Chains A and B, each alone.
Chain A
Amino acid sequence: MAEPAITETRTALVNRPRRAPLPVKEFKGKADPDWCPGCGDFGVLNALKSAVAELGLRPHEVLTISGIGCSSNLPGYINTYGMHTLHGRALAVATGAQLGNHGLKVVVTGGDGDGFGIGGNHFVHAMRRNVDLTYIVMDNQIYGLTTGQVSPTSRKGMKTKSTPHGSVENPVNAIPLAIVCGATYVARGFSGQQKHLIELIKGAIEHKGFAFVDVFSPCVTYNKENTHEFFKQRTRKLEEMGHDPSNFHAAIEKGGLWGDEIPIGLFYRNDEAPALDEMEPVLAEGGSLSHRPLDVSADNARAVVAELM
């Protein structure tokens, strides 16, 4: 039996009973990843596939959108609808797609350069709009695909091919930035902590609004500093630190921690703020914009012309 296309209203989707999980292999993409052996991105891909499978989503219900960079190749490796867009532009495209068909589950994936560097403007604005999507950043603190230049999250002092004497710039701290910009689900994971990451991503996908998951995803080739071992030794789960994710100020404070102890987990969650599509009267009824008839009613045509006469 053919499954229905995703044209449902949001309420129908939200109220849909939880379905049985699908086998993860249903989400195996057409191509195999060409990331370097040992790349942290494998862990993120696996966690995402597990998350959508465990949530019982069907491949055609998910739209995975990326920009450009090593991690942005991800849509090719997962069996969902995918858009592999331009460098830095995934969130802008995703905003349009989410509003175009708000029945879709939109997942955006990319790297730190893509999201916080070239895409910084869209990052800020997509969050303040609270667009209903999940944004997973595979944060490796380096530019990998261009072979090892400094990134917006590279440590001050870090030596890279474009900062041979050490970077003199402060890195972006994406967690507090996301919280103050208006993201309503802000988490950090580590690709080396699969189960934890799967749960964070599941929570993000189920969250109504902008869900940001910053994931430490070590680059084994160009970042010899922020390695798998580096994060393994330092990351500590917020859940074990007694953090209350509904506390805005505590979340910002925890986001500022960096050093021997680096928190991962859910920093902030606000389930009260309506998502952009919920604020739009145009979407209040009539299903997704994409599937509405294009005809203009005679009344509307008359009214528009009447204004001109």
Chain B
Amino acid sequence: MAQRDFSVGIGGAAGQGVATPGTVLAKLFVRRGLHVNAYNAYQSIIRGGHTFLTIRTGEAPVRCMGDELDMLIPLNQDTMDRHVRRMRPGSAVLFDQGKLKPEGAAEGVQLCPLPLAQLATTPLHYNTAAVAAVLRLVGVECRPFEQMLAEQFKRKGDQVVAENVAVARAGYEYAGAHFRPYPFALPDTGKPLAVATGNECLAMGGVAAGVKFYCAYPMSPSTGVLMWMARHARQLGIMVRQVEDEIGVINMAIGAAHTGCRALCATSGGGFALMTEALGAAAMMEIPVVCINGQRAGPATGVPTKTEQGDLWQVLGAGQGDYPRLIAAPLSIADCFHTIPQMFNLADRFQCPGIVLADLLESEGFSSLDPAELDFNPPRDRGEVIGLDGQPVPSGEDYARYRETQSGVAPRAVPGTPGHAHVVATDEHDERGVLISDEFTDPHKRQAIMERRQRKMDGALALIDPPRLTGAEDAQVTLVGWGSTWGVIDEAVEKLGQEGIRANHLQVKWMVPLHVEAIQQALGKARKIVIVENNYSGQFARYLRSETGVVADAHIRKYDGEPFLPHHVVEGVRKVLAGKTKKYVPVHEIRV
């Protein structure tokens, strides 16, 4: 039987402080060694609108925000009205009794009106009382929260600390005296965990990779990477620059990368569109650079604060011409951390651009992490390079930057290295870097150069793990997903199993190079293939068909801006197996 988990939803208008109690609860949970997964549904508005943060916690790893809420904390009537009717018996609604009316709650939903105006002297402390009340109801002692408040307000003096602690205690005691606690208590595993957003993981992954140069133009949902990097730049010795536009961003990163720095940048689909020509330039000059595309709902400005897996074809086709590129879509928030060093190692080794395809769900969601998993000195492979790391520099007499080699890779000498002066060009060029595009284009040479560059991807394929099937043997249905949907599909497979539907799951992380044979083999025996993806046109389904010949039997697609919840996938599979549809398109039940 699955271990107990607990979900709380906090909602209000932007600017009402939804994030703070959310962050506080998440920290308190991970400090008890509980796992956490959280997602904040918000709008492109600084004040107003409707923001809804879902935090799910439990003793076992939490893969996604889940289907149901155990507790609702509406900070305004709007949130109350949108969500209260969806609360199940056994759940609770915690609210300011002086301000909100819980109309339409189902029988068995515990209403927990808090007299906040009595418990706290200022509205600034309302959320403190509410957090304390939550803790009381889930059987967590108040002390760690009081300690957290003491840390947080230490600089403001003892008086402020005392006020906050008093409010927390009042909220805690009031909840104990007036409300029914849940029939379970969230345990303390004794093994504290960490909590981070995907953006923080991407940035820290850059640190682990040894990134020395980071640049970006602010764009949701990738801005968090820039802000983390900027905050830590001096401490960690990383050059961080905000650039005039994304064209400048990628070109600046390429310049830094050419000198030997590991250079990283991040953007979203719109910024990525501006970068595409330069990604081809990096491939042509054979300069390793890594770019993160945190996808959001497009096209154009689209829905800036909503999630989508809509840029697969953009990154596959980014830029003119054929060129080698690496593309990986991290499978989880934790995987965001690991993917960056992996990508740098491959980009360095094969001297080509690497694209990390995250999305808003990952970038701005947050998740617990095992601190032991955060290795800041993972294996680093700089590939064949001359003039870095104090390696002895050869005379350079016969140095040809783009020498023909079996692997397709020739050593790159970084500028400043004596004896190896050469030109890297975006025009087609010969072994020595001399242009062949202008005076005499040599068709034989051009053909050989194209083949050498593209050959590099064969080597890359051998270094990446093939995707693996997980779940039931002899499955009735095989779910296929890519990137960030790993957690929700994995949970859906489990839920299907509980209903007696045997399902298994193939989640693809590496888009380019693609493990074609491994995928063909994994799906060769599948009885019914259902592809699950967060876009309209089935971008991955089309890609899979074009590369592997695998044609899915059915599709589950969502393109309303919100991520999948497990029940969306479960319901889709049921309908598909019942022969009712070949394309199931759920829509988010609540307008968030």
Contact = CB atoms under 8 A, between A and B. Distances in A.
B435 A81 contact: no
B424 A2 contact: no
Interface in A97-116: 97-101, 103-104
Interface residues of A, number: 66
B419 A60 contact: yes
A96 B213 contact: yes
Contacts of B369: 308
A154 interface: no
A81 B434 contact: no
B555 to A, nearest CB: 37
Interface in B383-413: 387-389, 393, 395
Interface string A277-291: 000111100101111
Contacts of B234: 281-282
A124 B248 CA distance: 12
A16 interface: no
Interface stretch (B1-9, B62-70, B202-210, B308-316): B202-210
Contacts of B435: 31, 73, 76, 84
B476 interface: no
A309 interface: yes
B212 A122 contact: no
Nearest to A129: B241
B249 to A, nearest CB: 8
A95 interface: yes
A297 to B, nearest CB: 9
A101 B235 contact: no
Contacts of A266: none
A103 B215 contact: no
A101 B415 contact: yes
Given A86-B426, A282-B234, A286-B237, A60 B416 contact: yes
Given A83-B285, A280-B239, A89 B423 contact: no
Nearest to B195: A308
B433 A30 contact: yes
B278 A89 contact: yes
A29 B244 CA distance: 33
Interface in A286-309: 286, 288-296, 300-301, 303-305, 308-309
Given A34-B438, A60-B418, A304 B423 contact: no
A84 B388 CA distance: 22
Nearest to A99: B239
Interface string B347-363: 00000000000000000
Nearest to A92: B251
A188 to B, nearest CB: 25
A60 B421 contact: yes
B120 interface: no
A94 B255 CA distance: 6
A79 interface: yes
Nearest to B196: A308
Given A30-B433, A92-B248, A97-B415, A308 B371 contact: yes
B581 interface: no
A290 B421 contact: no
B448 interface: no
A160 interface: no
Nearest to B250: A92
Given A5-B393, A290-B261, A303-B235, A295 B377 contact: yes
Contacts of A176: none
Contacts of B254: 85, 93, 96
Contacts of B179: none
B260 A309 contact: no
B17 to A, nearest CB: 21
Contacts of A121: 244-245, 247-248
17 contacts: A30-B434, A82-B424, A86-B251, A93-B258, A96-B258, A100-B259, A100-B263, A125-B248, A289-B261, A290-B212, A304-B236, A309-B27, A309-B31, A309-B192, A309-B193, A309-B194, A309-B371
Given A4-B418, A99-B255, A305-B194, 8 more contacts: A81-B421, A96-B258, A100-B255, A125-B248, A289-B259, A290-B388, A294-B210, A304-B204
Interface of B: 27, 30-31, 192-196, 200, 204, 207-210, 212-213, 215, 232-239, 241, 243-245, 247-248, 251-263, 277-278, 281, 285, 369, 371, 374, 376-377, 380, 387-389, 393, 395, 414-427, 432-435, 438-439
Identify the 7 closest CB pairs spanning chains A and B, nearest first: A294-B210, A96-B255, A6-B416, A82-B423, A100-B259, A290-B260, A92-B251
